[in-house]
Structure 1
Amino acid sequence: MNEHGPKALRLSLLTRWSALVGTLTATGILIALGLDQLLPNHPSIVVGISLLCLVPLAVITIRAQLQRQLSLYRALTGTVSSYQDGDFSFSLHWPHNDELSDLVAAHNALGEVLREQRLGLVQRELLLDTMVQHTPVAMLLVADGGAIVFANTAARQLLHAGRKLEGLHLADLLARVQPALREAMDRGGDGLFTIGDSEEEDVFHLARRSFSLNGRPHELVLLRQLTQELRRQEVQTWKKVIRVISHELNNSLAPLTSLAHSGAELVRRGQTERLPQILATIEERTRHLESFILGYARFAKLPTPRLDPQHWRTFLAALSDQVQFTLLGEVPDEPHAFDPAQMEQALLNLLKNAHESGSPPEQVALEVRRVQGMLRIEVQDRGPGMSETVLANALVPFYSTKRSGTGLGLALAREIAEAHGGRITLANREGGGLAVTMILPLA
């Protein structure tokens, strides 16, 4: 890179060339004056000899000056070509402090920036390759036509016993793998599939993404083993279920034991006047425990819905006999196919939650309407709503913020909605309260 001292004299190209031309002109005049003294009466001979002396001198001098600049231009062309080839190791030097030195300095600075960027890119590529090679997710990059152009270590171990996959055709590879993976690939899109028998089965998640690379379509295939995660989640779920059931059983059995002991003691003493109250309390706790167990059983054994055309007016009129709500808007006149028993259970749970939220009973509302080819059933209340944490977990089975809640009401409603091909969403309402929306397909 070109560097100049702090006191280096800066001469521009215009100044240097002007000085050169002036010097050559002065030299020509001096030669002509000298010859005129020697040959006073021969002006043409003086001019001819002066030109013969001046022109070669000018050519030699100008050529010497241009030769350095031409060498610099050729060097610039060469380094630009090297930059195009990805080689940024070259730099230039120009000994003069002029405009060309500024060009060389800018060129060298550009090369330095490109070198640093290239080094950073190489380091990021090495980091990315290290991460990709050591990730437990099996990755395949498939070019247009089905040729595998990249596979990481996990993919080679999972699909080809650790051997190289690059160069193979995806169809040939799938012909050798487990039928479950082949069927998952044939279905297209993302999904889960299981390999192995019931005792040693492995669950995998398949993800496929298409994109363009170097102007050609490619597909990225990702295979992630979920067995360990699902087993850990299953264990955590069972632990939570056991805790909830144990808590509820203890809450019911402890009073029942105490009441039974008190009843036996009253009978022994002959004081039977309090027995009806004790028996009524035992009956109430027994019914509560029965309802609790039936709730779990209903959630665990939800049957496939039997879809029959139902008229909403008739269905909602029967629902209003069991729970109070305000009907908003006009209900659709067209019948809709759903399982009336399951839909009634889901809406009863939602309306019961709305009443238990602390909302005024008259502010508990239900609305049924068609929107963009979907059916929206919305239950609204004016309770305190839900925090972000509760909103994120409210649909998770066994999650409840109520002291005596089982955490199954919303989860069961979600199961019923999904069994009908729909989904449930929760959102806080402006002005307070909660809106639980069940979205169902029309077909």
Structure 2
Amino acid sequence: MANRPMPAKSLRLSLLTRWTALVATLLVLGIGIALLIAHFLPGQPLLVMGLSLACIVPIAVITIRAQLQSMLSLFRALSGTVASYQDGDFAFSLRWPQNDELSDLVAAHNALGDVLRQQRLDLVQRELLLDTMVQNTPVAMLLVADKRAIVYANLAARQLLNDGRRLEGHQLAEIVQQAAPALAEALARSTDGLFTSGEGEQEEVYHLARRRFSLNGRQHELLLLRQLTLELRRQEVQTWKKVIRVISHELNNSLAPLASLAHSGAELVRRGQTARLPQILAIIEERTRHLESFILGYARFAKLPAPRPASCAWQPFLDSLAAQIAFVLDGAPPAPPAFFDAAQLQQALINLLKNAHESGSNADCVSMHLSQAHGMLRIEVRDRGPGMTEAVMDNALVPFYSTKRSGTGLGLALTREIAEAHGGRLVLANREGGGLAVTLMLPQPAIEES
């Protein structure tokens, strides 16, 4: 039917009213014809009935057929537009000239078409926006089906892996063979992580992230390759600047008094006043030892070796730790031995306990709680100091960040480095009632839980 606006209707007649009026009209017409024939043929009722039916039936058939024809055309048009909707074509609308229930059906159908058409337009716009964002992102994106066939790749992936040519339809294995060996090794690990490609000036650092999900009943994997070379180099420069500032500040604070003391000692020797020399030399020794400790702290952080985890009984480990720094053990240690690098973990706990004592907490409130369950070892160091503000907590694990006047900012950073090298993590939280709780969580082999 024509795609035209429905004209305004002043009178509404329902289908029931229209058909009732049509049947009543045909009935009245039939009675009138029968009476007219009976007037000319009196006394012959059968002949009158036959002639009446012969006149009224064709009229009724033609009238009803004409009424039904337009309705059947509307139904065929409705069926056609529904089929068009199924094919994604919403550029149709219908018109019904009568003001009845069918006009309401047509209006609802046209409104549905308008909604579907607008939704389709919005969907196309969103798809266009999403595709533009995906195609122009610097992150290389690959969508791989369960049989390792590439089903989607953006422009960055094409440039990185296939010289700008399409990747869809290729097998991931054959594309990886043409790429750098470092990428193949990163994909073989089946985990997220960093890898380096190239050498010297051509060295590039990438981060590989992978996510598996089900799409249309099939397993897919999304691979994201992000180049981090520039960001890491900028961060490296900023880190070096910060290290140089911290070291320069500490060296100046130590060397300036040392130079002054050395000059004073030389003057006293020249004058023959040697009584104060032991005191001056003791101060020089104290400052040089502090400087040595400062430098060694940086060296330990920079040269932290890979951990060598081994089975470790708790009691000897705790006795050795207690001999170096005081703490209260909250509860009994776990029964099974733990699995970690004892020397590195002891250094980490010394850092945490030292911070707890320096927080202003009473010594008897510095405690440690041990628990081991569900494949995780939890070591919690607690104190009753002032805790940390939100700003301090956000930066507490950043290397070289310290709120202490003589702090290096390496204690917590080194502890976190040790935890992450073991595959664990470090968590800081303020305690209810005041104080700080630092939790060191390390994964444990399943065999160690038996």
What TM-score does the superposition give when structure 2 sets the normalisation length? 0.93
Larger mean Cα displacement after TM superposition, 269-278 or 14-23: 269-278
Note the 1:207-286 alignment, pairs <5 A. Answer: 207-286=209-288
Match of 1:34 among 33, 36, 44: 36
Structure 1 residue 47 corresponds to structure 2 residue 49: yes
In structure 2, how many angstroms separate the alpha carbons of the residues matched to 1:151 and 1:387?
Answer: 45
Structure-1 residue corresponding to 2:422: 420
Q: State the 1:339 CA deviation.
A: 3.4
Q: Does 1:93 align with 2:107?
A: no
Distance 1:210 1:344, change over 3 A: closer
Distance in 2 (CA, whole Å) between partners of 1:154 and 1:373 is: 40
For the residues of structure 2 that align with 1:283 and 1:171, how far apart are their CA atoms? 64
Secondary structure in 2 aligned to 1:175? helix
The equivalent position to 1:70 in structure 2, one of 50, 65, 72, is 72
Match of 1:128 among 127, 130, 152: 130
- Which aligned pairs between 1:103-122 and structure 2 lie closer than 5 A? 103-122=105-124
- Provide the residue aligned with 1:20 in structure 2: 22
Amino acid at match of 1:236: Q
- Classify 1:442/1:162 alpha carbon distance in 2 versus 1 (closer, same or farther; 3 Å): closer
SS at match of 1:158: helix
> Structure 2 vs 1, CA of residues 308 and 145 (structure 1 numbering), >3 Å: closer, same or farther?
closer
CA deviation string 1:34-61 (max 9, x = no partner): 1121112111111111111111101111
- Give the secondary structure class of the aligned counterpart of 1:347: helix
Instruction: Report the Cα offset of residue 306 of structure 1.
Output: 4.3
Is 1:407 the equivalent of 2:409?
Answer: yes
Q: Where does 1:55-204 land on structure 2 (aligned, <5 Å)?
A: 55-204=57-206
User: How far did 1:365 drift?
Assistant: 0.2
Shift, 1:19, TM fit: 0.8
Tell me whether 1:3 sits opposite 2:2 in the alignment: no
CA–CA distance in structure 2, aligned partners of residues 10 and 300 of structure 1? 89
Q: Deviations over 1:99-141 (max 9, x none)?
A: 1111111100000000000001111111111111111111122
Q: Are 1:210 and 1:218, in contact at CA under 8 Å, matched by a contact in 2?
A: yes
Letter in 2 for 1:28: G
Q: Deviations over 1:333-368 (max 9, x none)?
A: 433344333222211110010111122221110122
Moved more, 303-312 or 89-98: 303-312
Corresponding residue for residue 433 of structure 1: 435
Task: State how far apart, in whole Å, the 2-side matches of 1:150 and 1:418 are.
Answer: 35
**1:101 alignment partner, SS class:** helix
Task: For structure 2, list consecutive stretches of 5 or more residues without a partner in the other structure.
Answer: 446-450
Aligned-partner Cα distance in 1 for 2:189–2:315: 40
For 1:46 and 1:171, the matched residues in 2 are separated by 94
| 1:300 equivalenced with 2:302 (yes/no) | yes
CA gap 1:196/1:89 in 2 versus in 1, 3 angstroms: same
Residue type of the alignment partner of 2:110: N
Counterpart for residue 333 of structure 2: 331
Work out whether 1:311 is the aligned partner of 2:321. Answer: no
Question: Residue 373 of structure 1 aligns to which amino acid in structure 2?
Answer: G
Deviation string 1:14-44 (CA, Å, 9 cap, x unpaired) is 1111111111111111111111211121111
Secondary structure of residue in 1 paired with 2:429? strand
Among 353, 356, 376, which residue is 1:354 paired with? 356
Number of residue pairs matched by the alignment = 442
Residue 322 of structure 1 and its aligned partner are, at CA, apart by 2.4
Q: Classify 1:219/1:374 alpha carbon distance in 2 versus 1 (closer, same or farther; 3 Å).
A: closer
What is the distance in 2 between the residues matched to 1:430 and 1:301? 37
List per-residue Cα deviations over 1:393-415 (Å, max 9, x = no partner): 32221122223221100111122
Classify 1:98/1:385 alpha carbon distance in 2 versus 1 (closer, same or farther; 3 Å).
Answer: same
Amino acid at match of 1:225: Q
Alignment partner, residue 291 of structure 1: 293
Alignment TM-score, normalising by the size of structure 1 = 0.94
Corresponding residue number in structure 1 for 2:448: none
Task: Report the Cα distance in structure 2 between the residues aligned to 1:332 and 1:127, rounded to whole angstroms.
Answer: 56
Asked whether the 8 Å contact 1:373–1:442 carries over to 2, the reply is yes
1:92–1:104 Cα contact (<8 Å) kept: yes
